């Protein structure tokens, strides 16, 4: 997936969230530690991490978990605590045209999911490719909601 494609998928998902939940979402620059914040009116409601995947729900179910870097979770937890709002992960599954979400951290910056498995694995470095070994978190799909 190219960055332009990812940006289009992000726009599609954010437009849906605006219509469904009245969330306006402001994104951060490309290499910021979080992807953005959601707000309603003049109040920030969530810290956002957004991902789009060229996958279907069935493919995701085959894996049983969703992988996200542990650093992203820690950064989101810190921001949630600092801003006193929950940190959520939003995933757009392109092949199913489905928006999923889960709360990763509470407004206190504490993990909202007790059974996240963290282990060091080799994964794709970024949307541009490459590989890297880093700590990754595996979130069981039972924690996701279809938004």
What are the per-10-residue average pLDDT scores of the chain (147 residues)? 81 88 92 94 96 90 92 97 97 93 97 95 74 92 94
Q: What is the pLDDT of residue 33?
A: 94
Question: From CA 75, how far away is CA 93, in angstroms rounded?
Answer: 24
Alpha-helical segments (H) within 1-147: 3-21, 57-63, 70-83
Decide: 101 and 92 in contact? Cβ < 8 Å: no
Q: What is the pLDDT of residue 146?
A: 92
* Domains contained in the chain, number: 1
Question: From CA 26, how far away is CA 23, in angstroms rounded?
Answer: 10
CATH number of 34's domain? 3.40.1350.10
Phi, psi of 64 (to 5 degrees): 85, -15
Range of the domain at 134: 3-146
Q: What is the pLDDT of residue 127?
A: 65
Q: What is the pLDDT of residue 116?
A: 95
Question: From CA 46, how far away is CA 101, in angstroms rounded?
Answer: 12
């Amino acid at each position: 997936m190219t960055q332009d494609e990812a940006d289009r998928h992000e726009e599609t998902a954010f437009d849906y969230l605006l219509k469904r939940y009245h969330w306006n979402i402001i994104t951060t620059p490309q290499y910021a530690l979080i992807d953005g914040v959601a707000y309603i009116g003049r109040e920030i409601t969530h810290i956002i991490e957004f991902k789009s995947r060229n996958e279907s729900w069935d493919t995701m179910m085959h894996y049983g978990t969703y992988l996200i870097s542990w650093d992203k979770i820690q950064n989101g937890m810190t921001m949630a605590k600092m801003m006193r709002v929950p940190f959520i992960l939003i995933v757009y599954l392109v092949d199913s045209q489905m928006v999923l979400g889960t709360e990763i951290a509470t407004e206190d910056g504490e993990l909202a999911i007790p059974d996240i498995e963290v282990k060091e694995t080799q994964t794709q470095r970024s949307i541009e490719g490459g590989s890297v070994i880093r700590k990754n978190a595996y979130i069981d799909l039972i924690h996701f909601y279809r938004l």
